[in-house]
Amino acid sequence: MFALPLTGWALVSVSVLNIPTVLYGILPWPDLPVLAPLGDRAPAEALLKLVHAYGAYALLALVAIHTAAALRHHFIIRDDVLSRMLPHLRRLPAVVPSRKEHSS
């Protein structure tokens, strides 16, 4: 979760388009000073674009696997993992009738 913003920041810092980085559309953000002395920025931009894209795909895959695992616990294994994560899914405890009520 920290790698994607950092690779994105690095990607914008070495971009051949020299687009200024503005955080949330309000705060001007400086480029990474480590990448400033690069002479030819195009190869670095291509590499960082690839790393950033693969990182995004990896994060999406991780979210999908996590979601699938939570749904597996809920629908196949039928334990309470998902209901513990989502409070509105909590079930009320089953009411067991006492023996006195059952015998009549």
The answer to whether the pTM exceeds 0.85 is no
Kindly state the helix (H) or strand (E) to which residue 83 belongs, with its residue range.
helix 81-85
In sequence order, what are the residues at sequence separation of 6 or more whose Cβ sits closer than 8 angstroms to the Cβ of residue 52? 4, 7, 8, 11
- pLDDT per residue, tens digit, the chain (104 aa), is 899 999 999 999 999 998 888 888 999 999 999 888 888 899 999 999 999 999 999 999 999 999 999 899 888 998 888 888 887 766 645 444 566 655 55
Distance CA 11, CA 100 (A): 73
